[in-house]
């Protein structure tokens, strides 16, 4: 039993959150995850061209879904906070970023998730990681809506 | 004692040789234009590719998939 717990702990440290893993209280606090609804966590950065391309589509989803059931949280992993703020400001000015963003200049949040590529989307339901999408995906809004339909069943 | 010291020394010496993978969220510098082949200069890229293709006797496969941000 002890070895199983140790293996699980080590796998989380090495690979980040896997499907079915519960998000730690520390990360829940950082992301303000309080309710038992579906959270979509979008990791992006100003230097990531594919992330910038996807953000307007994710904002479109944000405007379509019921905020009581689904919430989208952006995590900007830019190490330079000024770059992050300028990037977000520019996106907001053209109405391309409508969901709330948590800045992660120390990369503490993303290191807990350890995505294999960026942009990275994690679906969190009942404080557990239930699915993830990595890399640039065409029509990500349609992909998210289909995933949400499946997760809300 | 000598053995332990040797082990410690080798760990300290060779530890620096280990290469850590660049994580997807650490690719800010790699995503810069200046990190592109010939720093994004189209003419220089064509020239460098011409030399490469002539030397290798084959063409293509010189690009990298994704946008330098760890995408697929």
| Size of chain A in residues | 153
Each residue of A74-89: pLDDT tens digit? 999 999 999 999 999 9
* Alpha-carbon separation of residue A132 from A8, A118, B8 (angstroms): 19, 11, 42
What's the whole-model pTM score? 0.77
Share of chain A above pLDDT 90, in %: 78
To the nearest whole Å, the CA of A2 is away from the closest chain B CA by 29
Each residue of A94-128: pLDDT tens digit? 999 999 999 999 999 999 999 999 999 999 999 99
Measured between beta carbons, the chain A residues lying within 8 angstroms of B66 are 50, 117, 135-136
- Structure ipTM: 0.79
Q: Cβ–Cβ of A47/B32 closer than 8 Å?
A: yes
Measured between beta carbons, the chain B residues lying within 8 angstroms of A114 are 23
The torsion angle over the Cα atoms of residues B18, B24, B28 and B33, rounded to 10 degrees, is 100
Domain edges within chain A: 17-151
Predicted local distance difference test score (pLDDT) of residue A2: 60
Q: Cβ–Cβ of A47/B72 closer than 8 Å?
A: no
Say which of A51, A114, A135 has its CB closest to residue B72: A135
Helices (H), chain B: 2-15, 42-56
The pLDDT tens digits along chain B (72 residues) read: 788 888 888 777 776 666 778 899 998 888 887 777 666 677 887 888 888 888 888 776 655 444 445 554
Q: Which CATH architecture has domain A17-151?
A: 3-Layer(aba) Sandwich (3.40)
């Amino acid at each position: 039993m002890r070895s199983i717990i140790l293996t699980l702990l080590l796998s989380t440290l090495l690979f980040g959150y896997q499907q079915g893993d519960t998000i730690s209280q520390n990360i829940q606090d950082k992301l303000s995850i309080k309710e038992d609804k579906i959270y979509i966590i979008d990791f992006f950065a100003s230097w990531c061209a594919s992330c910038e391309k996807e953000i307007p589509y994710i904002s479109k989803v944000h405007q379509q879904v019921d905020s009581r059931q689904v919430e989208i949280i952006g995590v900007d992993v830019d190490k330079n906070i000024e770059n992050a703020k300028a990037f977000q400001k520019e996106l907001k000015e053209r109405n391309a970023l409508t969901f709330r963003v948590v800045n992660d200049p120390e990369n503490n949040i993303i290191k807990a998730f350890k995505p294999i590529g960026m942009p990275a989307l994690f679906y969190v339901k009942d404080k557990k990681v239930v699915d993830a999408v990595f890399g640039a995906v065409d029509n990500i809004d349609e992909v998210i809506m289909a995933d949400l339909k499946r997760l809300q069943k | 004692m000598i053995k332990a010291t040797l082990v410690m020394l080798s760990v300290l010496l060779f530890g620096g040789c280990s290469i850590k993978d660049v994580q997807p969220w650490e690719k800010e510098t790699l995503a810069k234009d200046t990190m592109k082949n010939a720093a994004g200069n189209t003419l220089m890229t064509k020239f460098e590719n011409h030399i490469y293709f002539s030397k290798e006797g084959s063409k293509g496969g010189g690009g990298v998939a994704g946008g330098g941000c760890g995408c697929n």
